[in-house]
Structure 1
Amino acid sequence: MPVTIIQQGHNSIKFVFTSANSHWRKIIFERVFTVLSLLFFPVYISSVYLCISIKHWELVIFDTFIYGLFLCVTFGKFISLKVRFFIGCTMTYIIGLAYLYVLGPTGAGLFWLFIFPLLSCALLNTKSGYIAQIINFLTLSIVGICYFYHWLSWPHIEGYSFFIWCVIGLIFMATNICAMLICGYLLSITEKKLTHTLNSRYALVVGLAVALEGHNPDVQQHIHRVAMYLKMLAEQVSHSAPYEKDGLADIDNLMLAGMLHDVGMQHMSDELLCIEHSLSLDDYEEIKRHCALGANVIKEMLGYDRSCQMLSMAKDMALYHHENWDGTGYPQNIVGSLIPLSARMMRLVDVYDGMTSPRHYKETSGHQAAVAFITQQSGKLFDANLVRAFLLVEKDFAKLNPKTTA
Structure 2
Amino acid sequence: MLLLDLDDFKAINDGHGHAAGDRVLVEVARRLRAHLRETDLVARLGGDEFLVLLPEVHDAAAAETVARKLLRALQQPYAADGCELRTNASIGVALFPDDARDADTLLRCVDLAMYAAKDGGRGGVVRYDARMRHALDARVRLHERLQQALHDGQGLALHYQPQWHVAGERVDAVEALLRWHDPVLGAVSPAQCIAVAERTGLIVPLGDWVLQEACAQVARWRAQGAQVRVAVNVSAQQFRLPDWPQRVQGALHRHGLPGDALELEITETQAMANPQQARATLQHLMALGVQLALDDFGTGHSSLAQLKRLPLHCIKIDREFVRELPDNATDAAMVRGVARLARLLRLRTVAEGVETPAQARHLRRHGVDALQGWLLAPALPAHEVQRWIAADDVAWARAQLTLKVAVGA
After TM superposition, the score normalised by the length of structure 2 is 0.23
Greater C-alpha Rg: 1
Q: Which is richer in strand?
A: 2
After TM superposition, the score normalised by the length of structure 1 is 0.23
Q: Which is richer in helix?
A: 1
